[in-house]
Amino acid sequence: MRQQEFENLYQAKWLAFKEQCELLEKREPLSSEIDFSANYREVCHNLALAQQRGFSPGLVASLEKLAARGHQQLYKNRQSIFGRIIRFITQGFPRLIRQNASLFWLCTAICYLPAFIVFLIIWADPDMAYSFLGTDTASNLESMYNPSHERITENRDIDSDFQMFGFYLWNNISVDLRTFAGGMVAGIGSLFILLLNAVLLGAASGHMLNMGYEDTFFTFVIAHGAPELTGMVVSAMAGLKIGWGMIAPGNYSRKDALLIRSKEGVRLLFGAVFLTALAAPIEAFWSSIGTIEPNVKYTVGAICWVLVFAYLFLAGRKGVQDGSE
Amino acid sequence: MLDNTSKVETPEGIELPLEVAGVVPRSMAYFIDFLIFLTIAYILALVMGFLGSFGEGLFLILYFIIFWLYPVIFEVFRNGQTPGKKAMGLKVVHQDGTPISLNASFVRNILLVADFLPFFYTAGFISMLFNKDFKRLGDLAAGTVVVYTEKENKEDPIPQLKPKAPALPLSLDEQRSILSLAERHQQLSEARQQELSALLPEQLFPAKEENQSRLKQLHAFANWLRGH
Amino acid sequence: MNESNDQEISPATEPKPSPFQVCHNKIQAIRSQIKKAVIGQDNVVDLALVSLLASGHLLIEGVPGLGKTLLVKSIAKAISGDFARIQFTPDLMPSDVTGHAFFDQNDSSFKIRKGPAFTNLLLADEINRAPAKTQASLLEVMQEQQITIEGTPHIIDKPFMVLATQNPLEQEGTYALPEAELDRFLLNATIEYPDASSEEAIVKMITEGHVGDSFATEQIEAVASTKDILAMQKVATKISVDDSLYSYAVRLVQASRQWPGIRAGAGPRATIALIRCAKALVLLRGGNFVTPDDIKQIATPVLRHRISLSAELEIEGVKVTNVIHDILEQVEAPRG
Amino acid sequence: MDLSKISIKLRPRNGYAAIDLGTRMAQKNWKSMFLSAVIFTLPLFALLIFLMPNHPIWAIFVVWWLKPLWERPLLLILSQDVFHQRPTLKEIILHGFKLLFKQLIPSITWRRFSPTRSFDAPVMQLENLSGSERRERLTALHSRSPSSISGMTIMMHLIESLMAFAIMLFILQFLPTDDIEWKIFLENLVTNSGLHLYYLLFAIGWYLAMVLMAPFYVAGGFSSYLNQRSIREAWDLELVFRQLAAKHKSRSFDYKNIIVSILVCSFIFITPKTYSADEQEIDLYAEQKSRVKAQIENIQSGPDYKRTETTTELRRINPLEPNSDEDESEEADESKSSSSSSLIGKEFGRVLSWLFLIALIVFILFKIPAMIEYFQSGARSKNEKLSNKKKPEQLFGLDLKLENLPDDIVQESKILWQQSQHREALGLLYRASLSKLIHQFDCEFEDGFTELECLIIVQQNQLSLSPYFSELTQAWRLLAYGHKLPSEQTFLTLADHWSNNFVPETSESNKQRGVDE
């Protein structure tokens, strides 16, 4: 068949298919008699023929373009994002954590062990606090959590609470995202940020204890610490996932390993972001209230920890599917 | 042969060319996006400035959203195109040519931070310059490429002449070139077309019709090849 | 969906054996042969037979290891047809499905090595684990009923039926079938764990010294031929359908498009499928006309894979089956 | 060498795609191009550093200025590679030195800041044109040329300078200086009061960035040039045609000078002559443009980059100062807020904050039951809600309302039967039965119930008339769907018994329970 004949034969179909693509691109439904995938397949056949028979470059190019448009429409992911997010949070994420339980515990250890060691060191030798924290941070902390500080004894204005809410959200989630991105440097970046935070946490707690400000400090930290620290640990997990993909790609090429790992990693990261976002309102609106009895705050804090871990280890045990893919 | 397209084989067994875009148009697109981002952030800051601490909090949240999610939102909901990419005629797709998913868009944009390392996107630039598909680190991890959106390149009509068969058998490539010459007859100067046809060997043209110019004869061949 | 009391109440057929009656007897014979081996999965067996009679393809969803291979083997044996099984894996190539041409050194010519798709019954296990390319090759075979190797089309012997299984549990490393392609399957069956008594029977059968599938299929007799099946497929199309039922089927499918909570409803092919399947179901049950009950019964497997829910319902965990149930309850059935 | 082995895929592309093809070419030849760039520049750079150790900036500036010269060997490598010729290093150096002196003065003076420098280079270097010929040729090539070429020059310069800074800062991070705050350093750099070390680092950074980027810049220009020729002169077709001619010529084709011959032979024919007037203008315009661009370029390659500075600040907030420091910024933020906002705004903000908090709490409270429900039963609950909503008040779409039925149903149906409207006759009986069942016997039929399902309901309700109704249903189903007429006798029996079962009032029918047919 010559090109002209070929064109005459199929031109109408191509035009129709193009219109179908246009409709789909505008997210409008196709009229129901149309068999889009069959039409698409036909265009593919036509393209293959045109290429093989050496029809003019103009024709081949326009068919290529047509096939590409059809390809985009046929293989579009039509799952709704909102539904997937909710299902991921209620089921997928806790499951993911359980699937990666050993990595989770490893990261938890990487976070809390150094923190504890630093805490002990500073507890034993209060002066070490200044070398861990630096003089500026240390004195900052001191003034922040001094029980006689007016902000501890008075409640903060609601609007500054809100301001801090914005700040926590922005800052903490950004840290999560960076921790994840740090995984690209063979995981070292993630580890580094996690360790840095761990040391700061340990040092700050040790220092506060030494100063005798423990109540003001721990009442502030305990409740939101549960989701926030866990979120940090999880984001480090996500970073290590891709870092590990680069170090030990296994049977895959490094490139493929990176791809596969980062797919898992980003799902962990979504979870981490969720946890951190959860922490922000608690930190801004609850932790900042200075007038509540420490006992109440400790109780609430403990409940938060229990809830977070219960969520991670119990949620989504039933149910069929994990919609996070 | 070197080409700036990467071929993707679709499930249907055809090869779709993805014309991947390199560092220059992409940097320009990023630059435009960056300006838009700055403008939005500036306007937000102005508006929120009136609302005191609440405004600052809100600003930080919104800033957070546009800082991290500006490209993601556009890429997922606007067919793989941020405004900058749209201006430059680019879009992001998966490396198998399918439209970008939320997860992939998230990965590639979060990892902009990694591309930034150590400073000023050096890692990203180097990765883009040396990768075959001009991928930055984020693209490598997300399995995405930035491609040119195909422009409407309509088939140009060829001059209508009485079809005539060439006197020599022609390979596919040669046939295609003759067709292409006819398709481009409006873009090329007459003299140049004459000159090109003069390059062709004598044997190609049937001897008796010397009165017709070679170019005319070539167009007639093209008509024949097309099957008019 | 199980057998209703349709059979008890349905009117006695005419005394002389009509072609419908003959077919019914034959298909029942096939059915009872299959049931010798496949225990406790009557629902899936029936759907497979319906799909065979309606010359369509069946999509099976369910946990692995519930005797899908056995089912296909049994059907194949009962109708004396061929059977092939392909386990879809991430590295499966299209030519592993369709076959390929190779160069024969002996007489230096190209020969065709036909792939497993050249068969009567094809079990495509876990199709969503293969890359899109391989899936597409299978779907093409299903649609065209022919395979093109090196430019030469080869017609597949009829009857040809694909039973494809999807793996719902495993999400990692699966390639979802494009929505538009799911339409290729006439019916969607879910395979479930057998009930206690059936399980008992299975255990008995296995522990009485007959290990594995081989025994189960050995005792099946070939009670029909592939030609019979083709004839029965023809007869099935002749089952009469009252006009009111066409409009009922259309109403159902249209309802699926306008129903609140459904993002994408079924297309017109679903209507055709409904009628075709209802006819086949009637033949299987032994009647000679379609009633609304037949359509109602077959509606869930016909519609399930052609409908997708909106985000809200997905979040709430509503299943497609529930929504179809609602539709069936509320779309007017033809009466009087 | 074989013409069919041209190493790049030629076809008319858009301007940026052509540059991308150049990037691919540079990738392929990067090693040799990089090496030759180093060979030609490093001695000069080292010498200059050695001569003026206190002014490393000047050394790098000279190298930068002489770019057009040392980019020539790179172009040579590329142009050879197009036909799979790989010159040895020795050849490159030999040819390169010859090339250096070609049109030396214009290249490093007024042509230095042309934004299309790498695009123009092949005209001079490969086509060997100079003077007015060169100008004419360029005018032709530039006419209707895409803006992408100058865009590339600007972008590549930007990238080069960003990289220069990045490399310098990167090195600085590893230097054990007590004050490595790079902002302070930048100030020093700008105000000329910094240490020579910084200048040296900057020069090294710039140098590295330059030799790294040069191959890409040269290749981008070269491939844009090839592309422009493909568009304007169908150079891609020419190759195929020449090949075809060579195939059919008895004598062997002279491949040796192929590049030169192809490149040079045809420039007169590029455009129809009528365009020339316009092109003069274009040329003038282009020159003007180039001057402006050169100025921009000049500024841009300088060290002062305010904009990028701000971004870096934004992005560097926390990898090094993690979130435990929030308290510090908290204070900072507070002090800022008190000074910056008006009183009204603050009040308004406070109100909004409360609203937000309340909304959050209400939302959570509102969602808790839904969540619990979800975890408990999930599917059904919503589903039931849905079906309740949808359940219509009117019963059937069919004509079942009592008042729409004829008064004497039995009589009416018999008349219909006699008129041979059998279906209608039986249908009337059946519909009337349904209607009675609904209105008098309180049977609940869903819209979607089929006859069989209605029958089941009747049987479940244990109504006395269920055997009769079963018979009626069967007869009706046979007729309606099986198109099988019941015998007249059957119909008459059904019709006669109808009133027995349905006509008595509800109370009577209750009494009649148990009465069998």
Q: Tell me which residue of B52, A162, A304, A225 sits closest to D358, measured CA to CA.
A: A162
Is position D330 within any domain? no
B131 and B90 assigned to the same domain: yes
Residue extents of the structural domains in chain C: 17-237, 239-336
- For residue C159, cis peptide bond before it (omega within 30 degrees of 0): yes
Rounded-to-5 percentages of helix, strand, coil across chain D: 75, 0, 25
- pLDDT band for position D23 (50/70/90)? very high
Cis peptide preceding D56, ω within 30 of 0: no
Helix intervals (H) in chain B: 23-48, 52-77, 83-87, 102-110, 112-116, 122-130, 137-142, 172-183, 190-199, 214-226
Percent of chain A with pLDDT over 70: 89
Pick from D11, D353, D374: CB nearest A158: D353
Give the model's confidence band at D25: pLDDT under 50 very low, under 70 low, under 90 confident, else very high: very high
Chain C residues in contact with A81 by the CB 8 A cut-off are 311
Question: What letter represents residue C277's amino acid?
Answer: C
Q: What are phi and psi of C212, to 5 degrees?
A: 85, 180
C123: amino acid identity, one letter: L
Domain residue limits at D448 = 402-511
- The residue among C218, C207, C188 whose CA lies nearest residue C305 is C188
Taking only the tens place, the pLDDT of each residue in A195-231 is: 888 888 888 888 888 887 777 788 888 888 889 899 9
Same domain, D382 and D438: no
Report the number of distinct structural domains present in chain A: 2
Strands C146-149 and C152-155: antiparallel
Same domain, D17 and D149: yes
| Last-in-domain residue among D290, D311, D332 | D311
Selected residue with higher pLDDT from A16 and D258? A16
Residue D372: both structure tokens together: 């619990």
- Convert the pLDDT of each residue in C144-184 to its tens digit: 777 777 777 788 877 888 888 876 544 555 666 777 677 78
Q: What is the pLDDT of residues D342-385, one digit of tens each?
A: 566 666 777 777 777 788 788 777 766 665 655 444 444 444 44
CB nearest D382 (choices: C242, C291, C316): C316
Question: Does residue A251 sit in the same domain as residue A307?
Answer: yes
Bridge partners (DSSP) of residue B2 are: D8
Q: Give Cβ neighbours of residue D311 (< 8 Å, ≥ 6 apart).
A: B34
Cβ neighbours of residue A66 under 8 Å, at least 6 residues apart?
A: A14, A17, A18, A21, A43, A47
**With contact defined as beta carbons under 8 Å apart, do B104 and B112 qualify?**
no
The percentage of chain C sitting over the pLDDT mark of 90, rounded to a whole number, equals: 0
Q: Is D448 exposed, middle or buried (0-12, 13-18, 19+ CB in 10 A)?
A: buried
Does A59 share its domain with A176?
no
Residue pair D292/A151 in contact (Cβ under 8 Å)? The answer is no
D170 and D84 part of one domain = yes
Contact A241, A262 (CB under 8 A): yes
Per the structure block, which two tokens stand in for C24?
């019914």
Question: What's residue D324's pLDDT?
Answer: 38
In a shared domain, residues A63 and A118: no
Which residues is C188 bridged to in the sheet? C59
Q: Judged by CB atoms within 8 Å, which residues 137-196 of C form the interface with A?
A: 139-140, 143, 168-169, 171-172, 174, 178-181, 183
Same domain (yes/no): B116, B222:
no
Window from C184-193, C263-272, D383-392 with minimum mean pLDDT: D383-392
- Examine residue D175 and state whether it is found in any structural domain, yes or no: yes
Cβ separation D451–C288 shorter than 8 A: no
Nearest-CB residue to C293 (from D450, D482, D483): D450
- A322 occurs within a structural domain: no
Q: Are A236 and A194 in contact (CB under 8 A)?
A: yes
Q: Are residues B210 and B118 in the same domain?
A: no
Virtual CA dihedral for B57, B59, B60, B62, nearest 10 degrees?
120
- As given in the structure block, the two tokens for residue D99 are 């090339």
A29: pLDDT strictly greater than 50 = yes
Q: Identify whether residues B97 and B190 lie together within a single domain.
A: no
**Is residue D323 a part of any domain in this protein?**
no
Q: Is residue A9 assigned to a domain?
A: yes
Mean pLDDT of chain B: 82
| Mean pLDDT of all residues in A124-128 | 82
Q: What is the domain extent for residue A304?
A: 81-314
Closest CB to D337 among A144, A158, A163: A163
Instruction: Answer whether D452 sits within 8 Å of C11, measured CB to CB.
Output: no
pLDDT band of D255, cuts 50, 70, 90: very low
Question: Would you call A171 and D317 a contact, using CB atoms and an 8 Å cutoff?
Answer: yes
Backbone φ/ψ region at C303: left (φ over 0), alpha (ψ -120 to 50), beta: alpha
Residues A58 and A88 in one domain: no
More confident residue, C8 or D17: D17
Clarify whether residues D32 and D139 are in a common domain. yes
Are A168 and A283 contacting, i.e. CB atoms less than 8 angstroms apart?
Answer: yes
Domain shared by A297 and A214, yes or no:
yes
Range scoring the smallest mean pLDDT among B75-89, B170-184, D216-230, D492-506: D492-506
D273 against A19, higher pLDDT: A19
| A10 and A144 housed in the same domain | no
Higher confidence at residue B207 or residue B43?
A: B43
Query: Is the pLDDT score of B52 beyond 80?
Result: no
pLDDT of amino acid B221: 82
Pick from A21, A56, A74: which residue ends a domain?
A: A74
Alpha-helix runs per DSSP H in C116-195: 132-144, 179-182
Q: Quick check: A31 pLDDT over 80? A: no
Using the Cβ of D261 and the Cβ atoms of chain B, whether some distance falls under 8 Å is answered with: no
Tell me what the mean pLDDT of segment C195-203 comes to: 73
Q: Within this chain, do residues D368 and D412 fall inside the same structural domain, yes or no?
A: no
Q: Which residue in A158, A168, A200 is closest to D322 by CB distance?
A: A200
**What is residue D187's predicted lDDT score, i.e. its pLDDT?**
58
A12 with A106, same domain: the answer is: no
pLDDT surpasses 60 at D183: no
CB C126 within 8 A of CB C112: no
Residues B143 and B182 in one domain: no
For C239-336, the fitting CATH number among 1.10.8.80, 3.10.290.10, 3.20.20.20, 3.90.170.10 is: 1.10.8.80
- Residues A86, A324: Cα–Cα separation, whole Å: 9
Give the separation between CA D285 and CA D289, rounded to whole angstroms.
6
Return the closest-CA partner of residue D30 out of D312, D218, D271.
D218
Residue A103, phi then psi, degrees to nearest 5: -65, -40
**Cα A115 from Cα A199, distance rounded (Å):** 5
CA distance A68 to A74: 10
Tell whether the model's pLDDT for residue D175 goes beyond 70. no
Q: Answer yes or no: do D170 and D77 share one domain.
A: yes
Q: Is D289 a residue whose pLDDT tops 60?
A: no
Q: Given a cut of 90, is residue D50 above it in pLDDT?
A: no
> Which positions 27-86 of B are in contact with A (Cβ < 8 Å)?
52-54, 56-61, 63-64, 67-68, 76, 79
Shared domain check, D374 and D408: no
Q: How far apart are CA B108 and CA B101, in angstroms?
A: 11
What's the rounded mean pLDDT across residues B52-57? Answer: 77
Q: What is the model's pLDDT at position C64?
A: 65
A178 and A269, same domain (yes or no):
yes
Query: Could you tell me which chain C residue has the CA closest to the CA of B13?
Result: C133
Examine residue A324 and state whether it is found in any structural domain, yes or no.
no
- Give the number of other Cβ atoms within 10 Å of residue D2's Cβ: 10
Residue D38: per-residue pLDDT? 92
**Measuring CA to CA, how many Å separate D296 from each of D155, D289, D290?**
12, 11, 10
Cα–Cα distances (Å) from D105 to C305, D108, D121, D441, in that order, read: 75, 6, 14, 111
pLDDT at A138: 78
pLDDT in tens, C253-311: 888 877 777 777 777 778 888 888 888 888 888 777 888 888 888 888 888 888 877 66
Q: Are residues B202 and B119 in the same domain?
A: no
What is the rounded average pLDDT of the residues D148-157? 89
- Say if B140 falls within a structural domain: yes
Distance in Å, alpha carbon of A27 to nearest chain B alpha carbon: 11
| Assigned domain for B76 exists | yes
Q: Which residues pair with B20 in a beta bridge?
A: B147
State the total domains in chain D. Answer: 3
User: Are residues B23 and B98 part of one domain?
Assistant: yes
d(CA A77, CA A323): 13
The larger pLDDT score, comparing residue C16 to residue A325, is at C16
pLDDT at D450 exceeding the cut of 70: yes
With beta carbons less than 8 A apart as the criterion, state whether D80 and D32 touch. no
Residues B114 and B205 in one domain: no
- Locate the chain C residue with the closest alpha carbon to A41: C140
Q: Is residue B127 part of a domain?
A: yes
Claim to verify: residue B178 and residue B124 sit in the same structural domain: no
State whether A214 and A306 are in the same domain. Answer: yes
Q: Is the pLDDT of residue B226 over 90?
A: no
The CATH number corresponding to C17-237 among 3.40.50.300, 3.20.170.30, 1.20.950.20, 1.10.1200.10 equals: 3.40.50.300
Question: Same structural domain for residues B50 and B139?
Answer: yes
SS3 category, C321:
helix
Q: Is the dihedral of CA D232, D236, D238, D241 positive or negative?
A: negative
Task: Give the whole-number percent of chain D exceeding pLDDT 90.
Answer: 9
Asked if the Cβ–Cβ distance from B13 to C133 is below 8 Å, we say yes
pLDDT in tens, D202-214: 888 899 999 999 9
- pLDDT of amino acid D213: 92
Of B53, B153, B175, the CB nearest to A54: B175
The range of the structural domain enclosing residue B53 comes to: 5-148
- C-alpha span between C219 and C215 (Å, rounded): 7
- Pick from A15, A45, A74: which residue ends a domain? A74
For chain B, which chains pass the contact test of at least 3 CB pairs under 8 Å? A, C, D
pLDDT at D288: 43
Instruction: List Cβ neighbours of C122 (8 Å cut-off, separation of 6 or more).
Output: C83, C84, C85, C86, C116, C160, C161, C162, C163
Question: Among D308, C146, C236, which Cα is nearest to B121's?
Answer: D308
Average pLDDT over residues D297-322: 35
For residues A14 and A155, state if they share a domain.
no
Q: What is the pLDDT of residue B83?
A: 92
d(CA B122, CA D166): 7
Same domain? For A59 and A204 the reply is no
Place of tokens 């003959």: C22
pLDDT value of position B198: 80
pLDDT on residue D208:
92
Buried b (16+ CB within 10 A) or exposed e, D282-312: bbeebeebbeebbeebeeeeeeebeebeebb
- Name the most confidently modeled range: B202-211, D55-64, D92-101, D269-278: D55-64
- The verdict on a CB contact (< 8 Å) between C314 and A33 is no
DSSP-assigned letters across all residues of C240-292: B--HHHHHHHHHHHHHHHHSTTEEE---HHHHHHHHHHHHHHHHHHT-SB--H
SS3 C164: strand
Do A190 and A275 lie in a common domain? Answer: yes
Q: Distance of CA B27 to CAs D22, D118, D209, D297, Å?
A: 16, 19, 17, 16
Using a CB–CB cutoff of 8 Å, tell me whether D443 touches chain B. Answer: no
Please give the tally of structural domains in chain B.
2
Q: How confident is the model at residue B24, as a pLDDT? A: 92
Among A48, A74, A100, the domain-final residue is A74
ipTM greater than cut 0.85: no
Q: Is residue B68 part of a domain?
A: yes
Q: Tell me if B219 is assigned to some domain.
A: yes
Q: Best interface-test mutation with A: which of D323, D329, D372 has the largest number of A CBs within 10 A?
A: D323
Crossing angle between the packed helical segments C243-258 and C320-330, to the nearest 10 degrees: 130
| Arithmetic mean of pLDDT, D455-480 | 80
